[in-house]
Amino acid sequence: MTGHVPPPLRPPEARTTLPLAPTGEPPQLRADAARNRTRLLDAASRLLTECGAANLTMESVAAAAGVGKGTVFRRFGDRAGLLLALLDHREEQLQAAFLSGPPPLGPGAPAAERLHAFGPAVLRHERNQHPLILASRTDPLRNYTVPAHHLRLSHITMLLRRADVAGDPELLAHTLLGSIDTALVHHLTEERGIPLERLEEGWHHLVTRLGATR
Amino acid sequence: MTGHVPPPLRPPEARTTLPLAPTGEPPQLRADAARNRTRLLDAASRLLTECGAANLTMESVAAAAGVGKGTVFRRFGDRAGLLLALLDHREEQLQAAFLSGPPPLGPGAPAAERLHAFGPAVLRHERNQHPLILASRTDPLRNYTVPAHHLRLSHITMLLRRADVAGDPELLAHTLLGSIDTALVHHLTEERGIPLERLEEGWHHLVTRLGATR
DNA sequence: GACATAAGTGGACCGCAGTCCGCTTAAGTG
DNA sequence: CACTTAAGCGGACTGCGGTCCACTTATGTC
């Protein structure tokens, strides 16, 4: 979840040494690269609060971090990649909460309960990050390939199965996630003036209707 | 639905003449402007099939239509506006089908039937336009303000009410539309290899589960 | 410590979206 | 038809995302 290294560029490289830990890839950066990475993230996060997402240019981030523009792109691939990396840290907290946190969101509660708790948790988690999240959504398809989304999706799918909800679990999971998608939520709350509470009620109603009774 | 005139720029202009028809705005273009508009749309549509959406630049469209670049922007606002205008014509056919076409999609059938018919109709309508639709989605919020989306939304909302579906009709309508959103459908069919038929089944299941029995 | 090399760096460069503003022209008015 | 004016026009210009490649450097090896 953590290391965004879009251009791994490492050739297929048939492993000669057996992997001690089953790490998919070694995201280990060279010392200077790792230092520049954190510098860039710090600079970006500072500029973000100072100037807003709209005024955050790749060049300004590079300048603020004291590195060249090319370095930013090499590390994060593109602008969306940088913004996604900024979101990543926060996302880990949410993930920890639903993967291993206390019930009803975390394990320990019945699947239906966890399902009910999931929507409000996401809504509240993203509540203050709408601008950044929206700014990271340039390509409408990219969202589906982001690791964070994948994790949420498989989590919901798993809960739907465990709760014995009828229907296609994968499609239902997509639909559920779609109903609390940031863009939609932002539109409903900001443009239409619908309070978050009503969205939470909507989530509960939907989950109930799909057959996950509390 | 038809006239995209993003920069009307007409000042508040307290009407002195009473409007004979209650037209919100006069989208009537000057003769030369109207001619250039169709020229631009023709050129764009030609370039689109020849080079694909990705290679469609505003400058190339302008050149192909024999007008200046500024004219394209004045008429369509931005790139997305041009692409949306291209989609508009096709969209009208779909609208005609669910607003005044034959049942079960059009009026005449019970609301639940129409609801069931709506999903497959949209899926099939958009089937061949994914690239163009996706290319028009730059701003994740814009979709919600597009007239076509608004119309679909209020249509679904109306059907949900008439079918006496329990819950918040507006939120449910958003959720239903989200479940057949182009980006999602494209991802599921192209990336995940899920056939359209399965998506249609998913739609029927969802609508049924929400309480609209056939 | 000398060496090899893969990884990292930075800034010149490119293409395109979008803006600006002085010029042109369609279309009412008398 | 002469005149007025608001709408339209076009292309130079700006700013940013993204690419490229010659140069530098960290790191493992002997």
| Residue A13 pLDDT | 32
| Distance of alpha carbon B84 from alpha carbon B185, whole angstroms | 19
Predicted confidence (pLDDT) per residue in B167-180, tens digit: 999 999 999 999 99
Question: Mean pLDDT, chain A, as a whole number?
Answer: 88
**pLDDT the model gives residue A95:** 96
Give the distance from residue A153's alpha carbon to the nearest chain B alpha carbon, in angstroms: 13
SS3 A138: coil
pLDDT band at A20 (very low <50, low <70, confident <90, very high): very low
Whether pLDDT at B209 is above 50 = yes
Contact: A179, B178; criterion CB under 8 Å: yes
Contact B9, B89 (CB under 8 A): no
> CB of residue B125 closer than 7 A to nucleic acid strand C?
no
Distance from CA of A208 to the nearest CA of B (A): 10
Token digits of residue A75: 């590390």
Domains defined for chain B, CATH in brackets: 29-77 (1.10.10.60), 78-209 (1.10.357)
Which nucleotide lies closest to A138 by the C1' atom and the CA atom?
D17
Position B3: which residue type? G
With bands split at pLDDT 50, 70 and 90, how would you rate the model's confidence at B212? low
Quick check: A137 and B134 CB within 8 A?
no
Two tokens, residue A102? 């206390």
pLDDT at A101 over 60: yes
Strand C proximal to A192 Cβ, under 7 A: no
- pLDDT tens per residue, range B90-128: 999 999 999 999 999 999 999 999 999 999 999 999 999
Residue A115 Cα distances to A103, A121, A126, A169, B202, angstroms: 11, 10, 17, 13, 19
Integer Cα distance of B214 and B115 in angstroms: 9
CA of A145 to nearest chain B CA: how many angstroms apart? 9
CA distances from A172 to A53, A207, A211, B78 (A): 33, 10, 11, 35
**pLDDT band (50, 70, 90) for residue A189:** very high
Q: Residue A45: is its pLDDT beyond 70?
A: yes
A68: nt with nearest C1' to CA: C10
Query: In chain B, which residue's Cα lies nearest the Cα of A165?
Result: B209
Query: What CA–CA distance (Å, rounded) separates A138 from B171?
Result: 25
pLDDT digits (tens, 9 = 90+) for A47-66: 999 999 999 999 999 999 99
Give percent of chain B above pLDDT 70: 86
Between B182 and A11, residue with greater pLDDT: B182
